[in-house]
Copies of this chain bind each other. A is one copy, B any other.
């Protein structure tokens, strides 16, 4: 009896680490999106605001590199957040053509609320895993990212 699944491709193709990784990330991202919606924020908005908060004065291009998206995508998000008064574009002190990104007070406010939501999800996960295994998971994930990045 020939089992086709085990002939054509690797036998354990369905329970690979990369699949588990994808499923987990997809589920977490979906939950983030769902809980952030009442705040009028998409997960990408939160990520952008958090990045700017972490490194004020960031440029759009640099931000694009960190978030693994194109500068246009960043520009689109920035335009939306700016129109809401949550983000501010200032002229770079040296390069006149470059513009720094800064949070406004409203931006800080919505980020604070959003981060409480995200922290809640984080707590839900780490609570289910326990502190030791959480740290372990974080370490393993970092090593995976490091391993894959070298190429």
Contact = CB atoms under 8 A, between A and B. Distances in A.
Contact of A144 (B24, B54, B148): B24
B23 A141 contact: yes
A5 B129 contact: no
Number of identical protomers: 2
Given A9-B115, A26-B68, A128-B147, A14 B54 contact: yes
A129 B148 contact: no
Contact of A140 (B13, B31, B122, B140): B140
A17 B122 contact: yes
Interface in A78-130: 108, 111-112, 115, 118-119, 121-122, 124-126, 128-129
Contact of A18 (B13, B16, B122, B149): B122
Interface in A15-66: 15-18, 20-32, 50, 53-54
A138 B9 contact: no
Interface of A: 5, 8-10, 13-18, 20-32, 50, 53-54, 68, 108, 111-112, 115, 118-119, 121-122, 124-126, 128-129, 133-134, 136-138, 140-145, 147-149, 151
A50 B148 contact: no
